[in-house]
Amino acid sequence: MTTFLTGIDHIQIAAPAGSEEAARQFYGELLGMEEIPKPENLQARGGCWFHCGSQEVHIGIQNDFTPAKKAHPGFTVNALEQLKLRLEKANYTISNEPPIDGRSRFFTHDPFGNRVEFLEFE
């Protein structure tokens, strides 16, 4: 069988209209992702894009937005405990989870209520 897939280029996370600055604060400033320019032909749609390692995270505006409560991105990190403290200091609620397959982890929600997981290899 031919394998067609070679990796993940990006993930898209939905957000409500007018939420770009909150996305920049959370994904950019708090998590440390670098914002990258959206292609000119997509700028009118709103939202913003970020680098996350060799992949991208696209924050897309959805008019009938409902936060993702189960579906979520899982971001690998260094210094999981430091990130947890940083998020708590910024008033984000942390949900500690048992490790899985040698990875410590926790969940929080972004400013729009989307579930987000952070994992660190032990």
63-91 pLDDT, tens per residue? 999 999 999 999 999 999 999 999 999 99
Total domain count, the chain: 1
> What tokens appear for 46 in the block?
């709103």
Cα–Cα distance measured from residue 122 to residue 42, given in angstroms and rounded to the nearest whole number:
39
Strand, coil or helix: what is 92? coil
Q: What is the mean pLDDT of the chain?
A: 97
* pLDDT computed for residue 112 by the predictor: 98
Q: What pTM value is reported for the model?
A: 0.94
Domain for residue 26, yes or no? yes
Domain for residue 2, yes or no? no
Instruction: Identify the CATH number of the domain in which residue 117 sits.
Output: 3.10.180.10
Domain for residue 23, yes or no? yes
Torsion of CA 99, 105, 106, 107, to 10 degrees: -110
Sole residue written with tokens 């997509």: 42
- For residues 38-47, give the mean pLDDT: 97
* Residue pair 55/6 in contact by the 8 Å Cβ criterion: no
